[in-house]
A and B are shown apart, each in its own frame.
Chain A
């Protein structure tokens, strides 16, 4: 798999998120731990809320608009809410955050 170097991990606040603009739309990079980052679609399946603006806790994020909670491992909405956000392969190496290039390249924006 080819990886694209996006940023240093410290560019993302601990328990915070940053946005990467891609041809598919915005992707959120969620930093859940000192060296743990998840990548997932930045748009909430409920009403399009920007998930990267949400509160990051455990390995989840809460949408800032109406508090749906998503598990960043699976992308599934938690609790009673139903919906899923797309997740993307990401890795942290030597302090750099890398995201899978193939995944980005192959898809087309809707």
Chain B
């Protein structure tokens, strides 16, 4: 006989209970679902992306109205439950009473509000549900100042979202460092630095005394006496279990509603789960354990044996660019040993806490790729004695020389947890893949892995790869080539962290499987080394594609093309005469105007290159690097010199930029343009970096392309002077040089790191911008010279353009 099940609260925990019930016994219960919020269940943890504008509410709905209807669930949304009568077995809501056979309380938790004067003024918001999120979005639309009280997970996600929406944000935190429950001091420091770099002000050891204001919040007063102006105050200082109904119904309640391992309260017909419960002294604030509870509760309702156990938890923060991971217990203590790895230059910190032969805690900042692996070791209590030395470098370094990143995933046991939010382990995913879920979407749909916060997506993809082999096209982090298991990102990371300064060091230390690489990895390794160690490493021409080795573009018939620089597209009669003379002298079959505002001499014989360069050099012409993964052209329009609309000297700035940047090597080609006004005749908004002059200064745009893919640029920033423009562009070039994968144009690289990260690094953080510009300058002190002149004057190099011997004459004798 169908029994009546009433559920109070349509949140993340009860949503799962209903799914399990429908999956296993759809007809066992007739379900009535109350929710105080005027809507059904949505993915609460994705409110932060909604706040920041990365997602819409529609995208995070997990159960739509249609879904409830289809499963015949009676929904009473927007209705507060006001009382439970356990004797009558009824539940009373604002609109009436229903009776139950079984009752589930899933009321979640309520934000804790510090009872300071003014806490109830309009403009003071907590962060719990969609209404709060929308209230923040509305407040942010008016701009102004926001003060977020609380530097924990929620507070920081709120702060980042509000900043994203253009508010001036200050975070107040009572403790000495941010997220002190999840992070140690060093990681907290790096997190703070990253947040500050994006313009968020962080005040630690800041205790709130009062919220000031007449009709609404206007300022926050600190114990120190300092007053901070505030148009919006967000309180995110903690949560407390929502137990009021249970209290009134005289169920056993400690801090939360007490439940046993079957999720049963002190009344056998009343169950509870989620953030409102207390189990064995534990409270809950993350979704992973709630999902376990949901499974157990559904089983209990169906009279199947099951028991909830508390597991270790790992924490991540959903703020792009702030990569942190923490798991286990990382307090210092006797008999505990720390392994620490730091890379100050890149803001990376990793700390492992070992007790005896077990890993008990891990805190990571900046690079959290190995987080799940460490988490597995902690949970399983794995004996790590054998790998102690290399443990900190992660799974890729364990088990011999072949550092195949996939081998680590392949080696994970089947019960290793991959998706922390949904508690999905490797075995479940592999089973799903073998059962036909051959892409990320299908795995998500069948297992829920990576369906919540998404940070395990990379691991799921690696599992797809391990399970399907070549049938799965890895979207990212593929090994560079057959010579190594390392991806480009790993390689870049390792070159810096292990201070590898020669190709031989890379091959040896990183376990290349071939003697000296191949045509795919060698150019990449060569580039990374010269970009990271401009003073120590010497460029290796033999690791370059012929064009860059010979400083000319090879043609299909083995001849070359020669493109001299025309700074900013400006030339002179003398230069044109020299080009014409060279074309005559070397029988150049084709002279063409390129799409880059200069002239191409096509069909020059390889042996003639040094001579034609010598001739062009004498007229002051230098290499145009039309062949390089480096600065190509800086296109300009005529600007204020001639044009009636010009707002700035676009030609002059273009020339300055080209003179500043030329000769530099970059991950892929780098094209710039400067337009004198928004009519944009130099097509600046489809270049890697484009400048559009306006009356008040210079808009700097980045990430355009018009080749295999057409991309409009995005605005990086606006500056007032040419000097600033050059500094920002130097910094942009350098940050791209230091971070992108070889052969990624700026737009591709930006797709991965996000424009916001770049803005935080070079627009908001002026110090960092200057440091980057200086590093660029340092590299240019080596590379800003004309390779044509070098090759033409050096007799050994020059000789290499000619055959080493000519036996046709001897044979003729």
Contact = CB atoms under 8 A, between A and B. Distances in A.
Contact of A21 (B516, B543, B556, B807): B807
B579 to A, nearest CB: 25
Interface string B743-769: 000000000000000000000000000
Interface string A1-39: 000101100011111101111110010010000000000
Contacts of B799: 11
Contacts of B710: none
A8 to B, nearest CB: 9
A55 interface: yes
A19 B801 CA distance: 9
A77 interface: no
Given A15-B542, A58-B514, A64-B545, A7 B805 contact: yes
B546 interface: yes
B807 A104 contact: yes
Contacts of A60: 518
B519 A105 contact: no
Contacts of A55: 518-519, 522-523, 542-545
A43 to B, nearest CB: 9
Contact of B522 (A12, A48, A57): A57
Interface in A53-74: 53-58, 60, 62, 64-65, 67, 69
B805 A64 contact: no
B519 A23 contact: no
B116 interface: no
B516 to A, nearest CB: 6
Nearest to B796: A11
A54 B519 contact: yes
B803 A53 contact: no
Given A53-B554, A64-B546, A104-B811, A6 B516 contact: no
B519 A65 contact: no
Interface string B677-721: 000000000000000000000000000000000000000000000
Contacts of A15: 516, 542-543
Interface string A98-110: 0000001100000
A50 B545 CA distance: 13
Contacts of B519: 54-55, 57, 62, 67, 69
Nearest to A53: B546
Given A49-B558, A55-B542, A55-B543, A20 B805 contact: yes
B807 A23 contact: yes
Nearest to A62: B519
A12 B522 CA distance: 19
A53 B546 CA distance: 6
A56 B804 contact: no
Contacts of A57: 514-519, 522
Contacts of B572: none
B546 A56 contact: no
Given A54-B519, A65-B556, A20 B542 contact: no
Contacts of B2: none
A46 B535 CA distance: 40
Given A21-B808, A23-B808, A56-B542, A13 B514 contact: no
Contacts of A13: 541-542, 800
A67 B691 CA distance: 37
Contact of A22 (B546, B554, B557, B807): B807
Nearest to A42: B558
Nearest to A66: B556
Nearest to B503: A15
A68 B517 CA distance: 16
A6 B810 CA distance: 12
B804 A7 contact: yes
A54 B800 CA distance: 14
B775 interface: no
Nearest to A23: B811
A50 B559 CA distance: 10
A13 B522 CA distance: 16
Nearest to A10: B796
B804 A19 contact: yes
Contact of B556 (A11, A18, A29, A47): A47
B550 interface: yes
A75 to B, nearest CB: 18
B100 to A, nearest CB: 67
A4 B813 CA distance: 15
B95 interface: no
Interface string B531-560: 000000000011111100110001011100
B806 interface: yes
Interface of B: 514-519, 522-523, 541-546, 549-550, 554, 556-558, 606, 799-800, 803-808, 810-812
17 contacts: A4-B810, A7-B805, A12-B804, A14-B542, A15-B543, A16-B542, A22-B808, A26-B803, A29-B804, A53-B550, A53-B554, A55-B522, A55-B542, A57-B514, A57-B522, A58-B515, A64-B545
Interface of A: 4, 6-7, 11-16, 18-23, 26, 29, 47-50, 53-58, 60, 62, 64-65, 67, 69, 104-105
Closest 8 CB pairs of A and B: A62-B519, A18-B804, A55-B519, A53-B546, A15-B542, A64-B546, A21-B806, A23-B811
Given A23-B812, A50-B606, 11 more contacts: A20-B804, A20-B805, A23-B808, A26-B803, A47-B556, A54-B546, A55-B542, A57-B522, A58-B515, A64-B554, A105-B811
